[in-house]
Structure 1
Amino acid sequence: MKFNEKTIMAIMVDNRKEEALQVQKILTGWGCLIKTRLGIHDGVLDSCSNYGLIILELVGEKEKHEELMNKLNVLPGVQAKYLNLELKE
């Protein structure tokens, strides 16, 4: 991957309380591809939401990114997509 190129994956989790463990297991298994991870969900304390958004900065091969995305998309209530960003030289 070039220095001026980034791959970002966004993961929406609809039923966070029930699916978080499976999502976490998959992300841990593919941890060597993940350079940066950011988890976001609405709510605090007693009004914690049941859906969330995870944003990943990925490294490695495109084929591996697609495998990770496909593994996540098999889970009920989980949708993952990725995109490549590249700055022109």
Structure 2
Amino acid sequence: MQKDIYVVGLMVDERGTKAPDVQQVITRFGSSILCRNGIPSPSRERGIITLTMEATANEYQKMEQELKSLHGVTIDCIHFSQPESFQVCETN
């Protein structure tokens, strides 16, 4: 199965109470996550998490469904197909 790259953005309302539920879902899909970045400012009610994943479409869709089922979680994604053809930089 082809694995593609997904850059996933999460907005978590009521961050203080929702973060453990979000973390449980992210942990279940941890083997597909290449990078995670979060803004955990305690003075804000919202939290922002970005994930970069290498996953099959099915793996991504399962994670997306679980996250969307959580009240107060908004998710959006950029999907890059065929990552094996990507070139980050070229040397001369």
The answer to whether the superposition gives a TM-score over 0.5 is: yes
Instruction: Note the C-alpha offset of 1:77.
Output: 0.4
Aligned pair partner of 1:51 in 36, 46, 49: 46
Aligned to 2:90: none
CA contact (8 A) 2:34 2:54 kept: yes
TM-score for both structures, normalised by structure 2: 0.77
Listed as ranges, the gaps of 5+ residues in structure 1 are none
CA separation in 2, counterparts of 1:83 and 1:67?
16
CA contact (8 A) 2:11 2:75 kept: yes
CA contact (8 A) 1:69 1:82 kept: no
Instruction: Note the C-alpha offset of 1:83.
Output: 1.6
TM-score for both structures, normalised by structure 1: 0.80
Per-residue CA deviation, residues 25-53 of structure 1 (Å, 9 max, x unaligned), is 11111101110000024x46xxx111011
> Based on CA coordinates, which of the two structures has the bigger radius of gyration?
2
Aligned to 1:66: 61
Listed as ranges, the gaps of 5+ residues in structure 2 are 88-92
CA separation in 1, counterparts of 2:80 and 2:28?
25
Aligned to 1:23: 22
SS state at 2:55 partner = coil
Q: Which amino acid aligns with 2:69?
A: V
CA contact (8 A) 2:6 2:55 kept: no
Q: Percent identity?
A: 25
Aligned to 1:82: 77
SS state at 1:59 partner = strand
